[in-house]
Chains A and B, each alone.
Chain A
Amino acid sequence: MGRFLLSVVRRDLTLAARRRGDWLTALFFFVLVSSLFPLSVGPEPQLLQRIGPGVLWVAATLASLLSLPRLFEDDHRDGSLEQMLLSPSPVVGLVLGKVLAHWLVFGLPLLLVTPLLGLQFNLPAEAIAVLVFSLLLGTPILSLLGAAGAALTLGLRGGGVLITLLVLPLYVPALIFGAGAVGGILSGTGAEAHLSLLGAFFLVSFTVAPWIAAASLKVSLG
């Protein structure tokens, strides 16, 4: 399955490379939405530092969600998804490959920009480090949960909003532990507990979500 997974990843990355705009759009969305908050709540540094972790977490979440409808859509439209399901390779491998590719294109770049945004929110270096690390765990969780959502809503009208409605409630624990970790560093209580819980949630998502997504793909394609 490993080789199958890698081939799926490679294929998706090649396709994403051809549509160069996509990952930049998600990145711009992340930056733009984050910038809206100082504009709406005022530039006072203390306040920004308090809301910073939460705002950046939510913005990263929304930016990642933007790209989810297309996870399976393009392959579905030209029929290649059905072919892939018919092949003897495990569907879970297909899902994991796509999740990995999605995260590499839409999750990872956000991490590169996060330190800059952290500075905009007056976060100290230690907090920024924890923020990046928490998002490092959080963005793959979102890709995993999002894959299940995308598989369930394959081909439906209004799929994008529907995925958001389905995935966000399930994502709440990641949000709480992730933003909480940074909050813990800022308040001095430490981030360890939060980060371990976040890691545990990642493991649970990694175990459960791909199977749900695989089953959903089979259901959605009839």
Chain B
Amino acid sequence: MNLYHYASPTTFYRLAGGLVPWLAWAAGLLALAGLYIGFFMAPTDFQQGEAYRIIFIHVPAAWMGMFIYVVMAFWGAIGLAFNARLAFVMMRALAPTGALLTFVALWTGAVWGKPMWGTWWVWDARLTSTLILFFLYLGTLALWSAIEDTRRSDRAGALLTLFGVVNVPIILFSVVWWNTLHQGSSIGVTHAPRMATVMMVGVLTMTAAAWAYTIAVTLARARRIILERERKTEWVQRILAQEA
């Protein structure tokens, strides 16, 4: 299999177009399965009652926020190293979904905190680092929208994301450090309940659903970006003419 074949925008466009519906269905089914497990199979938690069921959204969203950022950095690195247009397209297509899922993680984490600790926001390690990750996403999106030239925009965003990815472990470490220091005065560490197998299966199913959803949405977004960027080429004009 010649990888460079798939690096061509034409091939990618068609391939992605074929994949999106399958992935969308997969995401839907996995989500239904995960929610069923979460609500109808997982038992009530001994310590946290029913409110813990929020983890079936919070944990997958938080994981995805992190994964997507790393994958963005990966594509950015590929784009910079091989000057591959498609890599940059993938990087940019991933960002909005990553930011959105990080926001969902923040929101659900906060909502989970209220019944647990009585406040709408807890400065614990997890929520705080999710907040900083959200800032990193916003920064990258802001940088892209501020630069008009596509080439510079792609590369600057790739460099920023790479810089961010290197820093993220340090940021995470420092936030955990900060949190353990202040633990005495604060309310407590938000942690997932020690999970029974059923709960774990539910979380993993939802995570798989989130993955399928992310890839589907990203590929769809990437297709649109490719059409816009390659609009002067013959194959795009053919497609536009076909669908006019």
Residue numbers of A with Cβ under 8 A of B are 148, 152-153, 156-158, 162, 165-166, 168-170, 172-173, 176-177, 180, 183, 197, 201, 204, 208-209, 212, 215-216, 219-220, 222
Contacts and interface: CB of A to CB of B under 8 A. Distances in A.
B39 interface: no
B181 A180 contact: yes
Interface in B177-193: 177-178, 181
B159 interface: yes
Contacts, number: 78
Contact of A219 (B155, B163, B170): B155
Contacts of B136: 169-170
- The 9 closest A-B CB pairs, nearest first, are A173-B174, A169-B135, A219-B155, A176-B174, A166-B139, A176-B178, A156-B146, A212-B163, A170-B167
Contact of A165 (B138, B152, B170, B181): B138
Given A169-B136, A197-B177, A208-B163, A216 B156 contact: yes
A30 B95 CA distance: 36
Tell me what chain B mostly uses at the interface: helix, strand, loop, or mixed. helix
Interface string B116-157: 000000000000000010011011001100110101100110
A197 B175 CA distance: 13
Given A165-B135, A172-B175, A208-B166, A157 B143 contact: no
Contacts of B132: 169, 172
A212 B170 contact: no
Contacts of B147: 156
A156 B144 CA distance: 11
B139 A165 contact: yes
Tell me what chain A mostly uses at the interface: helix, strand, loop, or mixed. helix
A82 to B, nearest CB: 14
Interface of B: 80, 132, 135-136, 138-139, 142-143, 146-147, 149, 151-152, 155-156, 159-160, 162-164, 166-167, 170-171, 173-175, 177-178, 181
A152 B135 contact: no
B174 A197 contact: yes
B39 to A, nearest CB: 36
B174 A212 contact: no
A172 B177 CA distance: 12
Given A165-B135, A169-B139, A219-B152, A180 B178 contact: yes
Contact of A168 (B80, B135, B155, B160): B135
A209 B160 CA distance: 11
Given A165-B138, A166-B143, A216-B159, A201 B175 contact: no
B171 A172 contact: yes
A204 B173 CA distance: 14
A216 B163 CA distance: 11
B53 to A, nearest CB: 31
Nearest to B133: A169
A173 B156 contact: no
Contacts of A216: 156, 159
Nearest to A157: B146
A168 B139 CA distance: 10
Interface centre among A162, A166, A204, A220 (most CB of B within 10 A): A166
Interface centre among B136, B160, B167, B173 (most CB of A within 10 A): B167
B143 A176 contact: no
26 contacts: A152-B143, A152-B156, A152-B159, A156-B146, A158-B146, A165-B139, A165-B142, A166-B139, A169-B136, A170-B164, A172-B175, A173-B167, A173-B171, A176-B177, A176-B178, A177-B174, A177-B177, A180-B178, A197-B177, A201-B170, A201-B174, A212-B159, A216-B159, A219-B155, A222-B149, A222-B151
B221 to A, nearest CB: 23
A212 B151 CA distance: 17
Contacts of A162: 142-143, 146
A169 B139 CA distance: 9
